[in-house]
Amino acid sequence: MTETTTDRSAAVAPRIEVATGQRAVEFDALPSKLSVRGLDFFYGKEQALFGNTLEIKEKRVTAIIGPSGCGKSTHIRTFNRIYELYRNQRATGEIWFDGRNILASGTDLLDLRRRIGMIFQKPSPFPMTVFDNIAYGLRLHFKLSRSELADHVEDALKRAALWDEVKHKLKEPGLALSGGQQQRLSIARAIAAEPEVILMDEPCSAIDPVATAKIEELIAQLSSAYTIVIVTHNMQQAARVSDYTAFFFEGRIVEAGLTTQIFENPQRKQTEDYITGRFS
Amino acid sequence: MSADTMPGPLSAVPLRPRSVARRRVVDRLVTSLAWLAAAFGVFIMGWIVVTVVGRGIGAINWAFFTQSPPAGADLGGGLGPCIVGTIVLTGFAAVIGIPIGFFGAVYLSEFGRTGRIATAIRTITNVVLGVPSIIAGLFAYAILVKPLHHYSGFAGSVALAFIMLPVMTRAAEDVLNLVPNELRESALAMGAPRWRATLGVIVRSARAGLITSTILAVVRVAGETAPLLFTALSSPYWLNGLFGPSGFFGGPVANLTKTIYDYSTSPYQHLQQLAWGGALVIIVAVLGTNVLVRLVFQRGK
Ligand SMILES: Nc1ncnc2c1ncn2[C@@H]1O[C@H](COP(=O)(O)OP(=O)(O)O)[C@@H](O)[C@H]1O
Ligand SMILES: [Mg+2]
A111-164 per-position pLDDT tens digit: 999 999 999 999 999 999 999 999 999 999 999 999 999 999 999 999 898 999
- Nearest C-alpha neighbor of B108 from the set B92, B124, B121, B99: B121
Residue A17 has pLDDT above 60, yes or no: no
ipTM: 0.87
CB within 8 Å: A120 and B188: no
pLDDT at A11 (0 to 100): 39
Residue among A57, A95, A58, A76 at smallest CA distance from A258? A57
Tell me the pLDDT tens digit for each residue of B121-153: 999 999 999 999 999 999 999 999 889 888 888
Report the pLDDT averaged over residues B176-193. 95
Res. B234: pLDDT tops 50 = yes
Q: Identify the pLDDT of residue B75.
A: 80
Query: Mind spelling out the 3-state secondary structure of A129-155?
Result: EHHHHHHHHHHHHCCCCHHHHHHHHHH
Structure confidence by residue, pLDDT tens digits, B284-295: 999 999 889 888
Q: What percent of chain B has pLDDT over 90?
A: 64
Three-state DSSP at B78 gives coil
B217 Cα to chain A: minimum distance (Å): 25
Among the partner residues B114, B189, B200, nearest to A118 by beta-carbon distance: B189
Work out how many domains chain B is built from and give that number: 1
Q: For B177-183, which contacts have Cβ atoms below 8 Å and span 24 or more sequence positions? A: B177/B109, B178/B206, B178/B209, B179/B205, B179/B206, B180/A122, B180/A124, B181/A85, B182/A120, B182/A121, B182/A122, B182/A124, B183/A124, B183/A126
Taking CB atoms and an 8 Å limit, are A120 and B185 in contact across chains?
A: yes
Query: Residue A280: CB within 6 Å of ligand 1?
Result: no
Q: How many Cβ pairs within 8 Å bridge chains A and B?
A: 67
Cβ–ligand 1 contact at A71 (below 6 Å): yes
**In DSSP terms, which residues pair with A39 in a beta bridge?**
A52
Q: Which atom of ligand 1 is nearest to the CA of A248?
A: 22
Q: What is the pLDDT of residue B248?
A: 84
Residue type, A77: R
Q: CB of A127 closer than 6 A to ligand 1?
A: no
B4 at interface of A, judged by CB pairs closer than 8 A:
no
What is the Cα–Cα distance from B79 to B61, expressed in whole angstroms? Answer: 11
Q: Which of A82, A87, A128 sits opposite B188 (nearest CB)?
A: A82
For residues A44-62, average pLDDT: 95
Interface mutation target, options B110, B178, B183, B190, chain A, most CBs of A under 10 Å: B190
Whether residue B225 contacts residue B134, with contact meaning beta carbons closer than 8 Å, is answered with no
pLDDT of residue B238: 85
Using a 6 Å cutoff on CB, does residue A17 contact ligand 1? no
DSSP label of A58: T
Which of A94, A90, A89, A115 is CA-nearest to residue A104? A94
Residue B106 in domain: yes
Cβ of residue A68 lying under 6 Å from some atom of ligand 1: yes
User: Does residue B4 lie in a domain region?
Assistant: no
Q: Domains in chain A and their CATH numbers?
A: 2-275 (3.40.50.300)
Closest CA to B167 of B117, B136, B213: B213
Asked, for residue B13, whether it belongs to a domain, the answer is no
**What pLDDT is attached to residue B9?**
57
The angle at the Cα of B285, spanning B284 to B290, to the nearest 5 degrees, equals 100
Collapsed DSSP state (helix, strand, coil) of residue B158: helix
Instruction: Look at residue A30 in the predicted model and tell me its pLDDT.
Output: 84
Transcribe B17-37 into DSSP letters: PPPHHHHHHHHHHHHHHHHHH
CB spacing of A127 vs B189 below 8 angstroms: no
User: With bands split at pLDDT 50, 70 and 90, how would you rate the model's confidence at A13?
Assistant: very low
pLDDT of residue B300: 47
How far is A56 from A93, CA to CA, in rounded Å?
Answer: 16
B73 CB burial (10 A radius; 0-12, 13-18, 19+):
exposed
Cross-sheet strand order for the sheet of A46-57? A46-57, A32-43, A89-97, A100-101
Q: Which residues contact B132 (CB under 8 A, 6 or more apart)?
A: B226
User: How many angstroms is it from B106 CA to the middle of ligand 2?
Assistant: 28
Name residues whose C-beta falls within 8 Å of residue B47's C-beta, 6 or more positions apart in sequence. Answer: none
Using alpha carbons, select from B141, A145, A228 the residue that is nearest to residue A215.
A228
- Paired with A249 in beta bridges are A252
Look at residue B279 and tell me if it is in a domain.
no
Q: Could you tell me if residue B46 is inside a domain? A: no
Mutation choice for ligand 1 from A39, A40, A43, CB with most ligand atoms inside 8 A: A43
Cα–Cα nearest to A249, from A50, A57, A103:
A50
B111 touching chain A per CB within 8 A: no
Give me the helix-helix angle, B153-177 and B207-222, nearest 10°.
150
Closest CA to A218 of A194, A193, A186, A254: A186
Task: Identify which of B113, B183, B191 has the shortest CB distance to residue A110.
Answer: B191
pLDDT tens digits for B38-74?
999 999 999 999 999 999 998 898 988 988 888 877 7
What's B229's domain CATH number?
1.10.3720.10
Ligand 1 centre to CA of B277 (Å) is: 61
| Ligand 1 atom closest to Cα of residue A86 | 1
Check pocket membership of A73 for ligand 1, CB cut-off 6 A: yes
Spacing, Cα B111 to ligand 2 middle (Å): 25
**Considering the domain boundaries, does residue B251 fall inside one?**
yes
Note the pLDDT tens digit of each residue in B75-120: 888 898 999 999 999 999 999 999 999 999 999 999 988 889 999 9
Determine the average pLDDT of the residues in B172-197: 95
A148-204 residue pLDDT tens: 999 999 999 998 989 999 999 999 999 999 999 999 999 999 999 999 999 999 999
Q: Mind listing the pLDDT tens digit for each residue in A139-148?
A: 999 999 999 9
pLDDT tens digits along A92-115: 999 999 889 999 999 999 999 999
In this prediction, residue B11 carries a pLDDT of 61
Residues in Cβ contact with A241 at an 8 Å cutoff, skipping those fewer than 6 apart: A61, A63, A216, A219, A220, A230
Residue B29's region, left for phi above 0, alpha for psi from -120 to 50, else beta, is: alpha
Interface list for B 161-180 with A (CB within 8 A) = 180
Q: How many residues are there in chain B?
A: 301
pLDDT above 70: residue A10: no
Q: Which positions ≥6 away from B205 have C-beta within 8 Å?
A: A126, A127, B179, B183
In this predicted structure, the answer to whether residue A75 has a pLDDT above a threshold of 50 is yes
A52 with A253: CB under 8 angstroms? yes
Taking a C-beta distance cutoff of 8 angstroms, is the pair A126, B186 a contact? yes
Ligand 1 centroid to Cα of residue B182, in Å, is 15
Please calculate the CA angle B135-B136-B138 and round it to the nearest 5 degrees. Answer: 60
- A37 close to A8: Cβ distance less than 8 angstroms: no
| Count of positions (residues) in chain A | 280
Task: Report chain B's mean pLDDT, rounded to a whole number.
Answer: 89
Q: Are B177 and B112 in contact (CB under 8 A)?
A: no
pLDDT exceeds cutoff 70 at A14: no
C-alpha distances out from residue B257 to A207, A241, B84, B214, B277, Å: 56, 70, 12, 21, 11
Output the pTM of the full model: 0.84
Residues sharing a CB contact under 8 Å with residue B125, sequence separation 6 or more, in sequence order: B104, B166, B169, B170
Q: Which domain holds residue B134?
A: 78-255
Quick check: is B239 in a domain? yes
Q: How far is residue A200's CA from residue A190's CA, in Å, rounded to a whole number?
A: 11
Ligand with smallest separation from the Cα of A203: 2
